[in-house]
């Protein structure tokens, strides 16, 4: 019991602690900065964030079609909403398993298909984030000195992506009767079918790049809200670093670590500490609130049984054998 509670409570306390510390150290300047906020840009940021979710739904619908699962745009978007809502509650991205169980419940898809769909989505997310960073980095380096680990954080996902696709191309040569190897081979074949053809590569790369450009625009609208002259390239770099840090599931939904990475990046560009902190906190707050509202709507869309799945995720009762058993 204590292990289950601590697995949720400790990461949550860490997230809250980081946010509280960030706000505390600039508290005297926060109210003054908020007084100069241009609220209409907040509405714009929320609207742009909603567009990003529709794009995510379109991409996931395309991935599912590549796996032989034909679902509506509304279904695909609701799937992502509910799993990301769970990720805001539980650590280690356990909410992703909820999406796999939804596919099993609604379409009788195999857990292997559900897992493969997540792999495709995550690979293209990380790759396109890194590509955005690689494109923005030369422009940023021309006006700003950035820590070496920023560059490493961008290069490593690009290299990992190249290795991953090389493994996909090679995977068809694996021959074994071992159950684990056969299961891995099946998932790799599904990932290959959903992503490794010209149409899929173009569609997934293009949609993923567009998703993250829209995500950058949300943050840029928040920057404009606080009337801070931050170059667009710096905003791109901040979002890239923030999401690459967020990919390491230290806290639920990356809360705290994401804000810290954004504030640090904006601070390197000369943005006042209070403004950098508020931009980071408001940006993530918008994205998380839209996620939560979408998650609640998705529970209504799927029905009461989806709430039971969220309860299972929260109590960490989704067992490994239940997830990969079929």
Give 172-226 pLDDT, tens digit per residue.
Answer: 666 777 777 788 888 888 999 999 899 999 999 999 999 999 999 999 999 999 9
Whether residue 281 lies inside any domain: the answer is: yes
Asked whether the beta carbons of 96 and 118 are under 8 A apart, the reply is yes
The proportion of the chain whose per-residue pLDDT surpasses 90, expressed as a percent, equals 54
3-state secondary structure of 173: coil
Asked whether the beta carbons of 12 and 87 are under 8 A apart, the reply is no
- The span from the CA of 314 to the CA of 11, in Å, is 13
Whether residue 229 lies inside any domain: the answer is: yes
Q: Can you state the angle between helices 179-195 and 111-141, rounded to 10 degrees?
A: 60
- The span from the CA of 96 to the CA of 115, in Å, is 9
Residue 21 makes CB contacts below 8 A (sequence gap 6+) with none
Whether residue 21 lies inside any domain: the answer is: no
What does the DSSP 8-state code read for residue 252?
G
Smallest CA-to-CA distance from 323 within 28, 152, 161, 118 is with 118
pLDDT at 1 over 70: no
Whether residue 98 lies inside any domain: the answer is: yes
Smallest CA-to-CA distance from 261 within 224, 34, 251 is with 251
Whether residue 13 lies inside any domain: the answer is: no
Confidence of residue 249 (pLDDT cuts 50, 70, 90): confident
Whether residue 4 lies inside any domain: the answer is: no
What integer best gives the mean pLDDT of the chain? 87
Whether residue 12 lies inside any domain: the answer is: no
Name the residue range of residue 202's domain.
32-323
What does the DSSP 8-state code read for residue 196?
S
Assessment of whether the complete model's pTM goes beyond 0.85: yes
3-state secondary structure of 256: coil
State residue 3's pLDDT score: 59
Whether residue 1 lies inside any domain: the answer is: no
Q: Which two tokens stand for residue 51?
A: 């567009």
Smallest CA-to-CA distance from 33 within 287, 280, 277, 289 is with 277
pLDDT at 320 over 60: no
On the 0-12 / 13-18 / 19+ scale of CB atoms within 10 A, 1 is exposed
Q: Which two tokens stand for residue 129?
A: 């984030």
- The span from the CA of 253 to the CA of 211, in Å, is 18
Asked whether the beta carbons of 240 and 136 are under 8 A apart, the reply is yes
pLDDT at 20 over 60: yes
pLDDT at 161 over 80: yes
* Count of the separate structural domains present in the chain: 1
């Amino acid at each position: 019991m204590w292990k289950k509670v601590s697995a949720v409570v400790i990461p949550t306390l860490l997230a809250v602690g980081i946010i509280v510390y960030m706000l505390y150290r600039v508290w005297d300047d926060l109210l003054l900065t908020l007084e100069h906020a241009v609220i209409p840009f907040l509405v714009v940021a929320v609207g742009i964030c909603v567009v990003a979710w529709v794009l995510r739904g379109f991409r996931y619908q395309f991935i599912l079609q590549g796996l032989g699962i034909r679902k509506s745009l509304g279904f695909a978007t609701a799937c992502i909403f509910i799993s990301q809502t769970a990720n805001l509650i539980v650590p280690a991205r356990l909410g992703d398993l909820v999406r796999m169980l939804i596919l099993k419940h609604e379409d009788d898809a195999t857990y292997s298909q559900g897992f493969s769909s997540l792999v495709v989505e995550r690979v293209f997310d990380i790759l396109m984030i890194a590509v955005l960073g690689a494109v923005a980095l030369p422009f940023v380096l021309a006006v700003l000195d950035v820590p070496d680990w920023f560059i490493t954080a961008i290069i490593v996902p690009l290299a990992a992506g190249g290795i991953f696709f090389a493994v996909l191309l090679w995977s068809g040569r694996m021959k074994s009767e071992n159950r684990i190897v056969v299961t891995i081979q099946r998932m790799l074949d599904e990932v290959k079918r959903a992503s490794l053809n010209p149409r899929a590569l173009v569609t997934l790369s293009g949609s993923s790049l567009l998703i993250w450009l829209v995500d950058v625009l949300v943050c840029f609208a928040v920057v404009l809200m606080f009337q801070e002259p931050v170059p667009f390239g710096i905003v791109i770099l901040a979002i890239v670093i923030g999401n690459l840090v967020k990919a390491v599931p230290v806290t639920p939904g990356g809360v705290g670590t994401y804000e810290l990475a954004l504030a640090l990046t904006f601070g390197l560009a000369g943005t006042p500490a209070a403004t950098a902190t508020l931009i980071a906190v408001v940006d993530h707050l918008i994205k998380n609130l839209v996620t939560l509202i979408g998650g609640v709507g998705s529970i209504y869309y799927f029905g009461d049984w989806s709430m039971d799945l969220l309860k299972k995720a929260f109590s960490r009762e989704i067992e490994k054998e239940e997830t990969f058993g079929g």
